[in-house]
Amino acid sequence: MKVFIVGSTGRVASNLIKNLVDRGHEVFAGARQIERVVKMDHVHPVHLDLHADVDVISEAIDSVDAVYFVAGSRGKDLLQTDAFGAVKVMQAAEKNGIKRFIMLSSMYSLEPEQWHRRGLDQLTNYNIAKFFADNYLVNQTNLDYTILQPTTLVEEKGSGKVSIGTATNSTNSIENVADVLAAILDADNTIGKVIMMSDGNDEIGAALAEI
């Protein structure tokens, strides 16, 4: 498949790109600083600024089979990047006739009543941004979406084992999150689903197959 990744220089994205290439996909890596995109065969850096209007974003994305949104401002540009930036990418995907849309979100992004939990209580503004973006994706588009909600990301070696549909662990290795994102692309049973995940005990393929 031809896959476009929004936010291609982040920690999750770098692992996701490698994973998708290993699976035989052609990756178009959208980023403001294209020189920071991982350099490897089958990866094509594309300049993308989420502050641009929808027409400009749609031209950058062009014609692909699926779009990943894994961009994040780390709290520095929540409205323009994490919230409205995501919405404009969704609108651009629909404008281009692209159906498959995979969103990296956060645990309980659609459940504000859970945001008081330890750990989440430090991320309220981020979760507000994701709440509006995720709600738009679910309720205002006709995209074949999957929303992945991991717990806290940590830079640890990926085990290849996760818990899906519940949080049995307070953390996720970045490698595990990237592996799950890549596997979702080939799992049509995840379309229209909001998926909670953490590191766990189940092989990724088997865990996704149970959804």
pTM for this model (two decimals): 0.94
pLDDT per residue over 94-131, tens digit each?
A: 999 999 999 999 989 999 898 888 777 788 999 999 99
Q: Do residues 166 and 184 touch, judged by C-beta distance below 8 A?
A: no
Looking at the DSSP bridge assignments, the partners of residue 164 are 197
- Is residue 74 scored above 90 in pLDDT? no
Q: Where does the pLDDT of residue 179 fall: very low under 50, low under 70, confident under 90, or very high at 90 and above?
A: very high
pLDDT per residue over 43-63, tens digit each?
A: 999 999 999 999 999 999 999
If one counts the domains in the chain, the total is 1
Q: What is the CATH number of the domain that holds 175?
A: 3.40.50.720
Alpha-carbon distance of 48 to 51, in angstroms, equals: 9
Q: Do residues 169 and 196 touch, judged by C-beta distance below 8 A?
A: no
Tell me, what's the pLDDT at 168?
Answer: 67
Nearest by Cα to 145 from 110, 187, 193, 204 = 193
For residue 23, count other CB atoms closer than 10 A to its CB: 13
- The 3-state DSSP class for residue 83 equals helix
Structural domain harbouring 26: 2-209
Tell me, what's the pLDDT at 123?
Answer: 84
In the predicted model, what is the mean pLDDT of the chain? 94
Tell me, what's the pLDDT at 12?
Answer: 94
